[in-house]
Amino acid sequence: MRGALLTFAFLVCATSAAAQSYTAAPAVTGQRQGNAGVARASMDVNAPPSAVWTVLSDCNHAQRFMSDLISCRVLDSGPGWDVREHRVHGWILRPVMTNVSRITLEPDRRLAFHRLRGDWTQSDGEWRLTPIDGGRGTHVEYEITAAIGVPIPVGVTQGRMIASVRDTLAGLRREAERVQTAQQTSLPTGGRR
């Protein structure tokens, strides 16, 4: 019995350690749902949730991790929310697309968005941040459901959405780890966390 418990404990610990893969590419899946595309993604970031949140919630510098983004500006805000306008590179028939969303902000934990108006007919989703590795890392989950009012072949939209989500997550990881490194190097000697 003791051997079985030790084996079980080893497997649990081995599974937890294997779950943290700071260098693996973001895992992204996508599917068509009516006129919309749905993407789900996850990855681990070698930075605490506070560093990931710093990047994720910063509208003024969102272009650093969102390669399709032209601009982000806050139109209105209140406790725990804001309304943001995103202008992004579109496609040949609509080179610039605009989306205005209400953003729900739960610092270091969750950022959710819901479309209010713009070129998309649907754009809803959320980012979830979970501490891992004793709080030194973050497991990031992202989900989006998006649609535009123009018929585009399924394979084109699904492939483009998956590639865009993968690039965005990779950019978020890069920027969050850069922020974490900058914060660590700016701490006084002996003050490292």
pLDDT tens-place string over residues 159-178? 788 889 999 999 999 999 99
Query: What pLDDT was estimated at residue 8?
Result: 33
Q: What are phi and psi of 153, to 5 degrees?
A: -55, 140
CATH hierarchy code of domain 20-186: 3.30.530.20
Assign 189 a pLDDT band (cuts: 50, 70, 90): low
* Residue 161 burial (10 A CB sphere; 0-12, 13-18, 19+): buried
**Contact status, residue 180 vs residue 52, Cβ threshold 8 Å:** no
Residue 191 in this model has a pLDDT that exceeds 70: no
Tokens of 182: 């900058």
Query: What pLDDT was estimated at residue 155?
Result: 57
Report the percent of the chain where pLDDT is more than 90. 67
Q: How far is CA 121 from CA 102, 116, 144, 163, in A?
A: 15, 9, 13, 21
**What is the 8-class DSSP label of residue 149?**
S
User: In angstroms, rounded to a whole number, what is the distance separating the alpha carbons of residues 75 and 131?
Assistant: 31
Query: What pLDDT was estimated at residue 148?
Result: 82
Q: In what order do the strands lie in the sheet with 36-45?
A: 27-33, 36-45, 137-148, 120-132, 110-118, 94-106, 81-91, 69-78
Q: How far is CA 103 from CA 21, 82, 112, 150, 190, in A?
A: 29, 5, 6, 25, 38
| 126-73-65-133 Cα dihedral, nearest 10 degrees | -50
